[in-house]
Amino acid sequence: MISVDVLATIFVNGLIITSSTLLLALGLSLIFGVLGVVNLSHGALFTCGAFLYFLLFRLGIPFIIALVLTLLTGFLIGLILEKAVFHPLRNDLLAGVIAAFGLSFMIEVLLGAGFGKEIKSVPQMVKGVFHLGVVSIDAQRLLVLGGTAILTTALIIFIHHSRIGRAIRAIAQNDELSLLMGINPSFIRLLTIGGGTSLAMASGMLSSPTSYIDPYIGSELLIQAFAGIILGGVGSIYGAIVGSVVVGFLLATGLFFAPTWAYAILFGTIVLVLVIRPQGIIPFESA
Amino acid sequence: MMNSKPRRIVILFGLGIVLVLLPVIITDTRWHLTMTLICLSAVVALGLYLIAILGLVSFAQAAFYGFGSYTVAILLLKLQIPFWIAWVFGGVLSALIAGVIGMLVLRMKGAYFFLVTLALNQFMVWIFHSWTRVTGGYDGLRSIPPPALLNSPGKVYYLSLGLLVITFTYVITILNSRFGPVLRATTENEVMVQSYGISPFRIRMTNWIACCFFTGLAGGISAILIRSTFPTMFDMMVSLRYLVFLVFGGIASPIGPVIGTAILSVLSEFLTPIKEFEPLVFGSVLVLTLIFLPGGLLGLFRKKEA
């Protein structure tokens, strides 16, 4: 029988998977909406954040300064990506996707070469373990959960209630019309990819203590985040949230009852959902 | 490109002789293996070409290749069915699966097709991985017995070359048939094609099934060439490789994917000592080609001619 303990375990694991998925899915979704690029290098940038924090931690740089540095580096990398790759390819969606995928492999190899093969780890930023009945959760994971909740809320408020947020939504809907409204699309594009990349790198940094660090952690997560946004609806923030929750709980349930089949079930579900509802659960227009 | 017909025949004939004699000239078995793999990958790249001219990019080709490979491996190892029957069966099964999937996804626009095939590739790799009883799981299936006629890479080469020639001929025939202009028109203006009473869906379906059929056959040959098959041989990285071959060669003509495959595979062979940097080289080639050579290598020649 399924007991309360089992349900509690699945629930907590589901939340944890949801939060790490959502952190990547938000950036992916925003970048797709504004730049029209399915940025498959997003996961590799998450990994960059984890490695950068590993480096900064070794150098003994305090947490807050490390966070600021990570955000700034992320923004800069985002600008370079847009200028060098995505802007030249902006008229061809598929070229952009394929190029981003190529980029992610390049980043992984470079990280592997630069930092060596052995698996790395960093100590937790906050200490302590909390117990809820049989389920225990460490403070670091709670930090990631809280961070995700705050970031998501902040992003929704920003997108819906600020001038720049309005401009971002306008461009996602129709960039030629928004040009007529006095919005500068290239500026908004730069801001979005810069912000999105910052978000990816900061997520990598925050999540780095919860597991080991190797060049592929981001890409593994990216597949989940990607699953989340195609399930929920590409380009919509609410879609990213709904999709990540579905992915998180589906995976948590699958991993609990049939660990070897969990991913097959996840991708089978995605194929099915896409076939029945190609626009995703929450379509783009209602973003 | 205005070669006269006799001249073209002489060139093709010469090329044919060179390709047939290649394993005799180069006796190193390592290169036999590479040459055979080039033929097989070129078949997959040509399959991608068939759907790329319709504006579709598939990320599931490694999975279909794997499908052919696993089918042959399972039939040979567990049921002792003769290779030739197992081989054709693998191709037909790939085509059938492609047909079912095509029914569901080919009405979607380019980006969605791409997303579904990406998810599909992961789904199939996880099936290879998880269905341990049949697929051998993580370790895969090993020591697949090749038929006596095909027990060395040098011999498998001829079968692969044969498959490549057949695939190439199929593509050329389709392009030069009455069907050819319709293919191009479907990408340019779907509504116009519809207004002539032609179903773009059926055109996409035909090419998609042919694409996966040939890919499955190529995968089936790889089972007796490599003599083992395991999930990581068919992951997204491999699907990406096929796309790089196609993008690098260019899609102006079906010779593009073949040239792209040959050049990059030979390059990859020379990169063997620094295997871990291979994705870096492939990634750079891909990104640089997309940005600076949108038509691939063929685009380069076109520009010089103009």
For position A88, which CATH number holds? 1.10.3470
Domain total in chain A: 1
Confidence of residue A282 (pLDDT cuts 50, 70, 90): low
Residue A236 CB contacts under 8 Å (≥ 6 apart), including other chains: A29, A33, A280, A282, A283, A284, A286, A287
Residue A23 CB contacts under 8 Å (≥ 6 apart), including other chains: A46, A144, A147, A148, A151, A199, A200, A203, A206, A207, A225
* A115 part of contact set with chain B, CB < 8 Å: no
Please tell me what DSSP assigns to residue B199: -
Q: Which of A28-32, A133-137, B64-68, B73-77 has the lowest mean pLDDT?
A: A133-137
Most confident of A91-95, A138-142, B62-66, B225-229: B62-66
pLDDT surpasses 50 at A9: yes
Q: Which of A82-91, A225-234, B36-45, B254-263 has the lowest mean pLDDT?
A: A225-234
Substitution target in B56, B117, B122 with the highest count of A β-carbons within 10 Å is B122
Substitution target in A83, A97, A98, A255 with the highest count of B β-carbons within 10 Å is A98
Report the distance separating Cα A240 and Cα A21, nearest Å: 9
Amino acid letter at A152?
Answer: T
Cα torsion B125, B131, B137, B143 to 10°: value is -100
Domain total in chain B: 1
This prediction's pTM:
0.81
Report the distance separating Cα A242 and Cα A277, nearest Å: 15
Range of the domain at A61: 4-286
Substitution target in B61, B290, B292, B293 with the highest count of A β-carbons within 10 Å is B290
User: Contact A270/B111, CB-based, under 8 Å?
Assistant: no
Q: In this structure, is residue B18 part of a structural domain?
A: no
In angstroms, the Cα distances linking A279 to A256, B73, B278, B301 are 30, 38, 36, 40
Instruction: Give the rounded distance of the alpha carbon of A83 from its chain centre.
Output: 21
Q: In this structure, is residue B298 part of a structural domain?
A: no
Report the distance separating Cα B300 and Cα B302, nearest Å: 5
φ, ψ for residue B289, nearest 5 deg: -60, -45
Report the distance separating Cα A132 and Cα B199, nearest Å: 59
Instruction: For residue B72, give how far its alpha carbon lies from the nearest alpha carbon of chain A (Å).
Output: 22
Residue A281: per-residue pLDDT: 64
> Which of the pair, B137 or A107, is modelled with greater confidence?
A107
Chain B positions in Cβ-Cβ contact with residue A260 (cut-off 8 Å): 129-130, 132, 137
Chain B positions in Cβ-Cβ contact with residue A273 (cut-off 8 Å): none
The pair of structure tokens assigned to A98 is 């394929």
Q: In this structure, is residue B57 part of a structural domain?
A: yes
- The average pLDDT across A88-93 equals 79
Place of tokens 């896409």: A274
Which residues in chain A (207-266) have CB-CB distances under 8 A to chain B?
223, 226-227, 230, 234, 260-261, 263-264
Report the distance separating Cα B169 and Cα B172, nearest Å: 5
Residue A286: per-residue pLDDT: 40
Task: State percent of chain A over pLDDT 90.
Answer: 16
Instruction: For residue A188, give how far its alpha carbon lies from the nearest alpha carbon of chain B (Å).
Output: 22
> Which of the pair, A227 or A274, is modelled with greater confidence?
A227
β-pair partners for A130:
A137
User: What are the residue ranges of helices labelled H in B106-199?
Assistant: 110-130, 132-135, 153-176, 179-188, 190-195
The pair of structure tokens assigned to B28 is 């190193």
User: Contact B120/A267, CB-based, under 8 Å?
Assistant: yes
Pairing of strands A135-138, A129-132: antiparallel
Residue A52: per-residue pLDDT: 93
Residue B24 CB contacts under 8 Å (≥ 6 apart), including other chains: none
The beta-carbon neighbor of B280 closest among A110, A226, A260 is A110
Residue B303: per-residue pLDDT: 53
Residues lower than pLDDT 50 in chain B: 1, 304-306
Range of the domain at B184: 32-234
Residue A50: per-residue pLDDT: 92
pLDDT surpasses 90 at A47: yes
Residue B301: per-residue pLDDT: 66
pLDDT surpasses 90 at A183: no
Q: Which of A59-63, A120-124, B110-114, B177-181 has the lowest mean pLDDT?
A: B110-114
Nearest Cα to B237, choosing from B266, B198, B276?
B276
Residue B181 CB contacts under 8 Å (≥ 6 apart), including other chains: none
